[in-house]
Amino acid sequence: MASFTGAIYHDQFFCIVRRQLRELSFHEALLQPFKPFSPRLWALIFSVLGLVGMMMTWSNTKEKTTLFDMLPQMPSAFIKGWHGFATGEIKQVVVDGSGSWLTQFMVGFTKTVMIAGYTSITVALLVKQQGTEVSSFREAVDARFRFCVNSNMIGALAASYPEIAPYVIGVNKLEILDSIDQGLCEAAIMDADQWRNERLWEQTHHCDTKARLPDVVLTVPNAIVVRDDLAQVLSWAVRTEMEEGTYPAIKGEALLNYTAGLCNEASTTSRKESLGINDLGAPLFLLLIVAFISLLVDRIGLYLGKKEKRLKEALDDDRSGSVSTNEVVKGITRRRVKVERQVGLQQAKAGTTTETTMETTANSHADAEGVRFHDPHGLASV
């Protein structure tokens, strides 16, 4: 049985995917301003600021009131708290005590920290544009990508990543990248040397259309096959040469001499030179949508306010400006009487209509009988 020396070098295998730059859809563009923070963080931010707005509005009331008395003002006070995220303070509240000043300071401090984090992530999202569908091998696995690999590597990959075994497709080593173009798979797994060879001698097709993901998928050691009696000696010699840096020097010289016309490796992201509507138009669209909804809410509030005013005027018998419980009961009684009167009139009208219909029907039957049996010329006996 043959033996092996110690490893001379290691082949590193990477995942190669299609490189495709695409514009954001309208839905994705609307969600773009919210990407820097997770949904749970956004919910916490708006909840905390809303509660702070309600508490400051309540503490700002001049007369002593209960929480129940403040309920009508709570929605506007909650939204007033959101304003602190943009301005760093709760507006339209009088800050005249140490407690109020401390709360306003913490609102401003929170806003500063949040805006700093938001800005740092937003700049990265705006300046860089994702050039591949996935940015890591794990994302490709989670997306159920099919992987084209050298047939000899199927066993090693299945052993290291059992979850991708059903999605690994074995092809000829020289046809791995072409298999992606043919739609046989969405990604390829190949070693760094082969990926370099595919980009030699100005073969720019794969340079422009594919990109290597940064994480190493698999590392495979390479050794020399030797007789059993020479294994120990050659292993010692190989290790000595490796420690002295002989192999890296030879590899560097080979790369220098035999990689002419090597095209530059494309990145999984690209830097944007200018920003378009899909990049910064979302806040404008959101502003328009919120303004329209706010207009509807205000108009509905105005309509309900007018209805409330008319109802108070109808119930306020003594014109005191306030409606008592007794006046509410009287109003309900008047309404019930009015409804009962209308129902009675409708029933009476319906009864009159029924009698008229029955009389008309009876007359029609009588006329029909008269026509049937009236025979002045005796024709019926013929």
**Token digits for 231?**
């294994």
Has residue 378 been placed in a domain?
A: no
Same domain, 10 and 145: yes
Is residue 227 in a domain? Answer: yes
Whether residues 110 and 147 fall in one domain: no
Does the pLDDT at position 379 exceed 50?
A: no
- C-alpha distances in Å from residue 1, one per residue of 94, 156, 225, 258, 366: 90, 22, 10, 36, 123
**Mean pLDDT value across residues 173-197:** 88
Q: What number of other Cβ atoms are within 10 A of residue 323's Cβ? A: 17
* pLDDT tens per residue across span 295-311: 677 678 778 878 877 77
- Beta strand spans in the chain (E): 3-4, 9-18, 128-130, 147-150, 168-171, 187-191, 210-222, 225-226, 269-271
Q: Are residues 204 and 303 in the same domain?
A: no
For 78-115, write each residue's pLDDT tens digit: 887 887 777 777 776 666 666 777 777 888 888 888 88
pLDDT in tens, 132-149: 778 889 989 998 999 999
Domain that holds residue 31: 26-130
The mean pLDDT value of the chain amounts to 75
* Position 215 pLDDT exceeds 80: yes
Instruction: Give a yes or no: residue 94 inside a domain.
Output: yes
Q: Please tell me the least confidently modeled range out of 30-44, 135-149, 344-358.
A: 344-358
Higher per-residue confidence, 86 vs 211: 211
pLDDT band at 15 (very low <50, low <70, confident <90, very high): very high
Q: Does the structure show a pLDDT above 90 at 227?
A: no
Residue 377 domain flag? no
Higher pLDDT, 162 or 376: 162
pTM attached to this predicted model: 0.45
Maximum separation of any 2 CA atoms in the chain, in Å: 146
